[in-house]
Amino acid sequence: MTESLTGREINGYRIGPLLGAGGMGEVYQALVIASNQVVAIKFLRRDIVVDSRLQGRFAREIRIMQDLEHPHIMPIYDSGFFGDMLYYTMHLINGQTLSTFLKRRKLSPLEFYPILEQLVAALHYGHTMGLIHRDLKPDNVFIERNRETNKPHIYLGDFGLGKREGIDQTLTDADAVLGTPYYMAPEAVLGEPLTIRSDLYALGIMLYEVLLGVMPYSEESGHLTAMAHVTQPIPVPTDIHPNFPQVLSDLLVQAIQKRPEDRFPSAAQMLQAYIDAMNALSAEQRKTVYHLIG
């Protein structure tokens, strides 16, 4: 989208400032005119939903998002069409994405645990509902400060814009925009069927990024980065950072194995492995920041 929607009145919403833009579309702040409620409204890119078949698919998947009820999954309120644009409204986060947060803070294994615990809870719930996220990345993880506890509250966004496991898993050009090369599992790159372990791979890449401050695969282009997940050996954390704890290195290596069957079988089991690793560390190791850069 090139034309700003700020100031327009669309289907009972007064569109406010642009909050962000990405591969899927643009997010604006909006006012529900009838109730004065402030929400976020996301307009999907026209070229994604220009085909009537894709419009129907995204409309169905937005309805799936509306059916998800979990404290750590972004609440979806409403959806509809404005001309040829498909939109949905959601909770307006009073906070930031994990990607923005990580640009400002370096986290130790202990500091990241409360975020990981809530993220895994959302992911596990979605998986038990038969959904695969397919685009798990820090930009889809939102951090809001809980006013009562003053602790971070995590929301996972865009969960319903994945696919149900075992259904329509062909990687088409339109589907490809849902993935991000840095976090794509090898089977996603190759267009093979996806499972919950594809999400767990992306979670492993995120964990690698958080704990080491670098991506395991980062090439000159998105295409080369995507192919690196398939062709390049796993950069073992203890090989590139001699002080990185062995138990955490083993966890990360298992999380981003090339073959899905070699990864953790569930988000809950991956979290338990993280807890076990934390218990094996000394108090000082838990609080140490292991970033390779900066």
- Please list the active-site residues: 135
- Taking the C-alpha atoms of residue 118 and residue 155, their distance in angstroms, rounded to an integer, is 8
- Taking the C-alpha atoms of residue 273 and residue 174, their distance in angstroms, rounded to an integer, is 35
Count of beta carbons in the 10 Å neighbourhood of residue 258:
16
Phi/psi of residue 8, each to 5°? -80, 155
> Is the C-alpha dihedral spanning 264, 267, 271, 276 positive or negative?
negative
Nearest to 156 by CA among 171, 128, 134, 175: 134
Q: What is the DSSP letter of 165?
A: T
Count of beta carbons in the 10 Å neighbourhood of residue 243:
8
- Taking the C-alpha atoms of residue 114 and residue 127, their distance in angstroms, rounded to an integer, is 20
3-state DSSP assignment of residue 133: coil
- The H-assigned helical ranges of the chain are 46-49, 52-67, 98-104, 109-128, 173-176, 186-189, 196-212, 222-231, 237-240, 246-255, 267-280, 283-286
